[in-house]
Amino acid sequence: MTEREKEVFVGIDVSKDKLDVAVRPSGEILSFSNDEDGISLMVDFIKPLSPLLIVLEATGGLETASVGILAAKGLPVVVINPRQVRDFAKATGKLAKTDAIDAHVIARFGEAVRPEIRPLKDQETQKLDALITRRRQIVEMITAEKNRLGSATSWTRKDIQNHIAWLEKCLMKADKDLNNLLRKSPVWREKNDILRSTPGVGPVLSMTLLSNLPELGTLNRKQIAALVGVAPLNRDSGLFRGKRKIWGGRASIRSVLYMSVTCAIRFNPLIKKFYQHLRNAGKVHKVAMTACMRKLLIILNTMIKNRTCWSTVTS
């Protein structure tokens, strides 16, 4: 048996109640409950296999406990975008869908593609991520209620106004909790200070990057742009040359980054100059904004990598 034939890959399909675990190349599959006892039994099953890679799909948080425990045991675990697995399944002709089939497809994806293992969030980072997610939900609810207020009748207007006032208090508490959490960590304080030294970068973008982009400062410029999804991808075939478009990546980061760039093209001299250069060259607003998002992200990535503030970058 060759070394490659000895390599073991594990795919885990996560649902609310259970974890389906498939092993390649043996084809073995087992099912465990998605709770503390089930995850412990799953780890006991996987660890003796010494897998080269354990792959799970991002499932909105259902995979968090499993990923955390697997990583704590020193096992090579990686979380991937479900769309990648679906596209892989279609490409390999696997159109049927069950939990067991999905686990096999995930394991096969890991064996064929071998996605790179990224830094995983520790417990404090997960807490920061949860608080930021909740803050975003509160902001969305406030916006929705304010939109309803515009067409509300006299019978419902007061109730909506009271709800908005309550939500705004919740938003203030969320901001306070986020600031307290940042102050507790010397590492986060340093990174936050570096990011916030940049004109156009506010607390929301800084906290979003700290929680949702742990790779910041560890990748090169092309890798970080592709990871977030601000690197234009070619759409060429033969003699046809299509428009390059951004695709995939982390949409939650892009939305916050876009708002920061909206501010940066007014108050950040470097980004403002770059935006005007692109517009003068005939680029439409959306293309210029995307380019500025990429440039700002790359600058922030370099600043975190070199542990330097904005004043050092522009000097």
Q: How confident is the model at residue 243 (pLDDT cuts 50, 70, 90)?
A: low
Check if the beta carbon of residue 42 is closer than 8 Å to that of residue 49. Answer: no
Q: Which residue has the tokens 């990429």?
A: 294
Across 20-47, average pLDDT: 92
Q: Tell me which residue has tokens 């909206």.
A: 262
Q: What is the pLDDT of residue 94?
A: 76
Place of tokens 């799953």: 42
**If you compute the radius of gyration of the chain from its CA atoms, what whole number of angstroms results?**
23
Reply yes or no on whether the pLDDT at 237 is more than 60.
no
- pLDDT of 98-131, one tens digit each? 878 889 999 999 999 898 887 666 677 777 878 8
CA distances from 143 to 150, 163, 254, 256 (A): 11, 12, 19, 16
Integer Cα distance of 212 and 135 in angstroms: 14
**DSSP for residue 217:** T
Instruction: State which of 34-38, 67-71, 231-235, 238-242 shows the largest mean pLDDT.
Output: 34-38
Within 213-250, where are the H helices? 221-228
Which has the minimum average pLDDT: 4-8, 64-68, 158-162, 192-196?
A: 4-8
Question: Which amino acid is located at 217 in the chain?
Answer: G
Residue located via tokens 């060759």: 2
As a whole number, the mean pLDDT across the chain is 86
* Sign of the dihedral defined by the CA atoms of residues 60, 63, 65, 70, in that order: negative
- Say how far apart CA 230 and CA 222 lie, in whole Å: 10
How many Cβ atoms are within 10 Å of 263's Cβ, its own excluded?
Answer: 15
- Cis, peptide link before residue 203, omega less than 30° from 0: no
Whether the Cβ atoms of residue 254 and residue 294 lie closer than 8 Å to each other: no
For residue 133, name the pLDDT band (cuts at 50, 70, 90): confident
